[in-house]
Structure 1
Amino acid sequence: MAASPLDASGSGDRGPGGSRVPEAAPEPERLRVLIGTDTYPPDVNGAAFFTARLARGLAERGAEVHVLCQSPHGPPQVARDGGVVEHRLRSVPSLAHETLRLALPPGAAGHARRLLARLRPHAVHVQNHFIVGRLLISAARRNGIPVVATNHFMPENLFHHLRVPASLRPGIGRAAWRDFVRVLAAADHITTPTRIAAQLLLDQGFDRPVEAVSCGIDVRRFRPPADPAAERPRVRARFGLPDRPTIAFVGRLDEEKRVEELIGALPRLGPGDAQLVLAGAGARRPLLERLAAGCGVADRVHFLGLVPGGDLPLVYRAADAFAIAGTAELQSIATLEAMASGLPVVAADAMALPHLVHTGRNGYLYPPGDVGALAKYLTEILVSPGERARMGEASRAIAVRHDERASLARFERIYRDVARVRGRGLADG
């Protein structure tokens, strides 16, 4: 039997004059990731936004990305959003939040198993330990697929939505953490956005290593205005805002964000015409509107509602400072966006906010609930243009260390590492 060229030479084709043509190196195998989450856009919360940015960012870097999540309307469906394939599970309205829907467990477990068998991802990345995350962890374990888990969970963020009485919150919180530890014990690699958030898990009894990987932000999209004095009045006019000293808050108007402290501080500010701009929606908006009227500052509190993503950078550009009063922030993407936009920040001295805000350098931390201290620090920033500019530059310098490109690269490395350990390794891209 005549030998083929490969059999005869072991090297492939020959070029002109019989010179040997080297074989092309095989292309590296494409990374395949299945992300599982119980909250995904159009949901409006930090975990949903992070998950969507992670999925799209990985796809833009060449990975094959699938997301298993709840349907936004009820019926199941498969859709493609850019380079991401969304596998939407049948869902029902949630009792915890007026806009949040939950995947139905009946049928979801079988769907997860079939999806894993068909896709054979190199890694599964779950964003929570509730319905989808729990089912996907179980299915991945049975199929020998490595699991990466990122924690965005704090019981405090659910108490108000679930209407848990204050007297029961400590006990329910402890039970919730025990459940978290049990479910996430099956994961191969655990991440959370900050070192403070990682320590929280260890304090709650989680006895595995936890890596801090920033959620990351697009520091090219969120950036300081080139000429603040000229640009801020134009941006304020676009939102229908008066041209006056402006404090911004971006986020949900729900109990755990404690926006009432920001409104309560407004009458105490040195600049008597300072205004507060609130970008976001939530159940407490009617209460906050009444509070502003009761404090005599209704004309200086502006509710923008949900701002389209394309306009969100402009909200920060309209402001002179950013304020956040929440005490259950595992990182706070909005605070990072404000810092990347060159704003000084006044934040509650709680959870992960001290990881971002350094008193006297890029803003101030105030004791949660101390509205007088909040007003004092905001006044110091608003009345001193030089101090404001210095702190804004420091904020930007801190924020650029959270460039989402670095976060995406780290997650890719984690996926490859856990796949290799599980014997499902792939060549580096």
Structure 2
Amino acid sequence: MRILYHHRTRGRHVEGVHIRGIVGALRELGHDVSVMSFPGADPEHDAESPAATRKSRLAALVTRLPGVVFELFELLYNAVTFVRMQRAWRTSPPQLIYERYSLFLFATIWLARRRGIPLVLEINDSALVERVRPLGMRGLARRIEGWCFREATGLVFISTYFRDVATRAYGAIAPSVVSPNAVDLPRFDPARFDRERLRAERGLTGRTVCGHIGAFAHWHGVDGFVEAIAHRLESVPDLALVFVGDGKTLPAVRELIAARGLADRVLLPGRVPHDDVASWIACMDYAVLPNSNHYGSPMKLFEFMGMGVAVVAPDYAPVAEVIADGRTGWLFPHGDATACVERVLELAQRADERRRVGEAARDYIASERQWRNNAEQLLTLVPTGAAA
């Protein structure tokens, strides 16, 4: 089947990983997949070419526009989408469109309906949830979104919570599946790495290592976790923390560590390329996710678990869909930093439990949460005979 994957993201970081994962899995299943990206944001090709760099800079400038002005640009992008889709239909008509949903984007669904082509939307964002960038034209965004959710052939939600929110708000939405994130298991395979050599190179020999990978943003709670655990580290002398990533709260975390004299206990390597993420996880004995949100499916959970590294995580519904407490990870009441710290300190002394739960986490990922599972699931939404 000829499948067109359409997205309006910048194609970098987590969204790029997700796009490449789904596209690769669909191709492994024998489908012919092409990707239509925001100009200069193709996650499958070199982002360092001069043309791509210029377009990426333009996209970055657009994202800095004031709220309502930015949203008007999002609406105008429907015209761009219309022209590009018409061109795609003339050269290689798709038999299925798979689109990563973006606010205010409706042109693809409108065109697909006119041409009788199935279109499946993957829902990672919504006008119904709290967003990093507040919505100015929320009412219009919800009206367009409700129409899109009802008129698509099918919907792929990243969590049951997210689907329930949409159903309550919009009523009879299109048929849907819940498909949390996944991982490229061969790439995230602990057998690929010389764990002891990596730990020696990074000053972690002989340490029990608890790690985290992700953005240093307030909603991820890294700063609050480090502050809460800093004065408790003396009670577990062998425990080291490795927090990989950067963001707004990283300077404050660095200052705290320096003020407490903890530079030898807390390693902050900054952001690393995604190709290097697995090598850092290979150094860890277990991991921690200090906070998340009510609807998301954090990619880092799957990458940790795929490497056989179990996670201490908040008990939000989407996280609890992935982690079985005490079997494939450990849950604590979300918003309770003290409970999170207590569990991390407690597990530092329990090597056998960490290994047992880590092995079970990898087994779960291997059986249910590889990208191929997601691709097979989304294809169940496509009517029989669509490829004819």
TM-score range, shorter chain: 0.7 to 0.9
> Offset at 1:194?
3.3
2:355 aligned partner = 389
Cα shift at 1:173: 7.2
1:189 touches 1:418 (CA, 8 Å); kept in 2? no
Residue 81 of structure 2 contacts residue 108 of structure 2 at CA under 8 Å; is this kept in 1? no
With 56-65 and 398-407 compared, the bigger mean Cα shift is at 56-65
Q: 1:277 to 1:36 in 2, by over 3 A?
A: same
The answer on whether the counterparts of 2:10 and 2:59 sit within 8 Å (CA) in structure 1 is: no
C-alpha distance in 2 between matches for 1:80 and 1:396: 27
- Displacement of 1:123 after TM fit? 0.8
Q: How does 1:138-153 map to 2 (within 5 A)?
A: 138-153=110-125
CA deviations 1:211-232 (Å, max 9, x no partner) are 11343222233234599xxx43
Structure 1 residues 397 and 179, CA, compared in 2 at 3 Å: closer, same or farther? same
Q: SS of the counterpart of 1:130?
A: coil
- Pair 1:111 & 2:84 matched: yes
- The offset of 1:265, in angstroms, is 3.7
Deviation track 1:385-407 (CA, whole Å, cap 9, x = no partner) reads 11111211221222222122222
1:39 offset after TM fit, Å? 1.5
Residue 125 of structure 1 is aligned with which of 81, 98, 101? 98
Sequence identity (%)? 22
| 2:184 pairs with 1:221 | no
Secondary structure at the aligned position of 1:352 is classed as helix
2:26·2:372 contact (CA, 8 Å) conserved in 1? no
Q: Which structure is richer in relative contact order (CA contacts within 8 A, separation 6 or more)?
A: 2
**Residues in 2 aligned to 1:246 and 1:111: alpha-carbon distance in whole angstroms:** 49
The number of aligned residues is 367
- Deviations 1:126-162 (Å, cap 9, x if unpaired)? 111336x4332222223222110111115698744x3
TM-score of the superposed pair, with normalisation by structure 2: 0.81
CA contact (8 A) 2:128 2:166 kept: no
Q: Which residue of 2 aligns with 1:71?
A: 39
The alignment yields a C-alpha RMSD, in angstroms, of 3.4
TM-score by length of 1: 0.74
1:195 corresponds in structure 2 to 160
Q: Distance in 2 between matches of 1:205 and 1:223?
A: 41
Q: In structure 1, what is the Cα distance between the partners aligned to 2:152 and 2:330?
A: 37
Partner SS for 1:204: helix
The residue aligned with 2:268 is 303
SS in 2 for 1:92: helix
Aligned with residue 279 of structure 1, among 224, 237, 244? 244
Q: What CA distance in whole angstroms lies between the structure 1 residues aligned with 2:30 and 2:85?
A: 24
Change (3 A) 1:358 1:193: same
Task: Report the counterpart of residue 6 of structure 1 in structure 2.
Answer: none
Matched, 1:256 2:228: no
Distance change in 2, residues 1:403/1:56 (3 Å)? closer
* Change beyond 3 A, Cα 1:411–1:232: same
Maintained 8 Å contact 2:13/2:274: no
8 Å Cα contact 1:343/1:392 also seen in 2:
yes
Q: Any conservation in 2 of the 1:154–1:328 contact (CA below 8 Å)?
A: no
1:128 touches 1:149 (CA, 8 Å); kept in 2? yes
**Which of 36, 46, 52 pairs up with 2:6?**
36
The alpha-carbon distance between structure 1 residues 399 and 425, as it changes in their structure 2 partners (threshold 3 A), is: closer
Contact 1:40 1:70 in 2 (8 A): yes
Question: Which structure 1 segments of 5+ residues have no match?
Answer: 1-30, 83-87
Matched, 1:380 2:346: yes
Counterpart-to-counterpart distance in 1, 2:316 and 2:380? 31
- Report the CA distance shift for 1:388/1:173 in structure 2 as closer, same or farther (over 3 A): farther
User: Does the 8 Å contact 1:256/1:328 carry over to 2?
Assistant: no
How many angstroms apart in 1 are the aligned matches of 2:337 and 2:146?
Answer: 36
Out of 55-64 and 373-382, give the one that drifted further.
55-64
Deviation (angstroms), 1:33: 0.8
Correspondence for 2:374 among 401, 407, 410: 407
User: Are the structure 2 counterparts of residues 245 and 80 from structure 1 closer, same or farther at C-alpha, using a change threshold of 3 Å?
Assistant: closer
Name the amino acid aligned to 2:315.
Answer: D
* Counterpart position of 2:281: 316
Letter in 1 for 2:208: P
- The superposition leaves residues 317-345 of structure 1 with CA deviations (integer Å, 9 ceiling, x where unpaired) of 11011111212452222101111211221
After superposition, residues 146-165 of structure 1 pair within 5 angstroms as 146-154=118-126, 159-160=131-132, 162=133, 164=134
Which structure 2 residue ranges, 5 or more long, are not aligned? 47-51
Whether contact under 8 Å (1:262, 1:323) holds in the other structure is no
